[in-house]
Structure 1
Amino acid sequence: MITIRPARAEEAEALPRIEQSAGLAFRAIPELAWLADGENISAERHRALITQGACWVAADDHDQPVGFLSAGIEGDALHIWELDVRLDRQGSGIGRALLEQTIEGGRQRGLAAVTLTTFRYVAWNAPFYRKFGFRVLEGAEIGERLANLLSNEAEHGMPADQRCAMRLDLR
């Protein structure tokens, strides 16, 4: 049984290990396999996001995190920074449950949208989010904040032609 609940500050140390495990799925995509060995969000950054109250974990029967979603409030949007499920627990609905909790959290806060940047064609990225009503933003609708994030990702080696910004309107 999995329980979705707010992340606790003391769990911040475990989240980079979950991210590392989840990233191993990229080994199945030759041109993105290098991401499996990439850097993870630091425990300190996770702690800061947890403090904002917009981070959730999926905890197992022993109350140990097996997945998480770290988000932050950016203006009138809840921005998803990272959604990861341990590789051995992927495909069981944990990511869906975390995303549903995040969307509900954005609505409860009265925010206008949930946003993120992700890969356009990786099955567990943009196609996954589209199932929840997210749409790919194009041109001017990307806006300065998301355009800056995409630019920063490209500067750090992400293939710009494969990345996109997405938005789910909440009102």
Structure 2
Amino acid sequence: MLIHAPSPAELPALRSIELAAGTAFRGLGMATIADAEPPSLAQLTESQRAGRALAAYEEPCGAAAAEGTGAPLGFLLWEPVDGCTHIEQVSVHPQHAHRRIGQALIDRAEQDGGSAPLTLTTFAEVPWNAPYYARIGFRTLTDAELTPGLREIRAHEATLGLDHWPRVCMRRDPGPRT
């Protein structure tokens, strides 16, 4: 798998990935999340230009290698928040699920962030959210551990109605995984 910044021409494909990935929420009674608008092209362009967007691609082989990496399979957007690499969004197209693409994107964001911890906010009870992140080394933060930036993010999420379902902030410190 190859991971690198998406080209400007690939940004519409990231929106499609987000829409497809969101459909899984419908089965959990979370239609509002399933129907949520993906990041706009302007938001994706801003992240891409700032060097805060990553996309995963199949390793090209044979004739495909001469044509480039093909369409993205998944993507990750991040921003700096209180000295951490804060993952805003990580999505993998359902056709490519269960191949550790999300984990590879997260590991690459950690690598690119140097020694900065990773943080994210997520749904506590969605199997491919908090329980998944816990399996790959994240831990849930207590309220006392929330930084001002994370508190601001959580307040914004509340205004969007995301608190209709339990949410948590999580953190993964850099270093070897057990």
What TM-score results when the alignment is normalised by the length of structure 1? 0.88
1:146 partnered with 2:129? no
CA distance in 2, matches of 1:75, 1:142: 10
CA distance in 1, matches of 2:19, 2:71: 16
Q: 1:159 to 1:74 in 2, by over 3 A?
A: closer
- The aligned counterpart of 1:96 is 103
Query: How much does 1:161 deviate?
Result: 5.5
Q: Is the 8 A contact 1:106 1:170 kept in 2?
A: no
Number of aligned positions between the proteins: 166
Task: Map 1:54-65 onto structure 2 (within 5 A).
Answer: 54-60=52-58, 61=60, 62-65=69-72
Task: Answer with 1 or 2: which has the greater Rg.
Answer: 2
1:26 partnered with 2:25? yes
Where has structure 1 moved over 4 Å in runs of 4 or more? Answer: none
CA distance in 2, matches of 1:27, 1:139: 29
Structure 1 counterpart of 2:80, from 73, 81, 89: 73
What TM-score results when the alignment is normalised by the length of structure 2? 0.85
CA distance in 1, matches of 2:33, 2:101: 21
Structure 1 counterpart of 2:161, from 142, 157, 160: 157
Structure 1: gaps spanning 5 or more residues:
none
Structure 1 counterpart of 2:122, from 118, 122, 129: 118
Identity %: 33
SS in 1 for 2:127: coil
Query: How much does 1:106 deviate?
Result: 1.5
Structure 2: gaps spanning 5 or more residues:
61-68
RMSD between aligned residues: 1.7
- The aligned counterpart of 1:135 is 139
